[in-house]
Amino acid sequence: MRMNNDRTLLKKKKNKQKNKRKPDGVRGVGRPKLRWEDCVDQNMRILHVKNWMKVALNRDDWAKLLKARAHQGLSSQ
């Protein structure tokens, strides 16, 4: 019914061997690309909207914000 005590030790040894492998490929140089949410956060800060996720739940209020964004020329990412 129960696992042997020896079995947990074997599992730890296998995990240590997996961690010694080196990753394939090369990490890109420079700053990571922005996520969609990062761009929305930046735009909402410009429009002085505190909690944009709550505003997005109300379609009418969200549509008004999108029209304001178009007039102010905020990022389109």
pLDDT of residue 57: 92
pTM higher than 0.75: no
Among residues 15, 12, 76, 11, the alpha carbon closest in space to that of 43 is found at: 76
- The predicted-structure confidence for 29-74, as pLDDT tens digits, reads as follows 898 888 989 988 888 888 888 888 898 899 998 888 888 776 666 6
Q: Other CB atoms closer than 10 Å to residue 43's CB: what's the count?
A: 20
Report whether pLDDT(15) > 80.
no
pLDDT over 60 (residue 8): no
Placement of tokens 């730890």 in the chain: 12
Q: How many CB atoms lie within 10 A of CB 44?
A: 19
Distance CA 69, CA 66 (A): 5
DSSP 8-state assignment for residue 31: S
Domain range summary for the chain, segments of one domain joined by +: 46-77
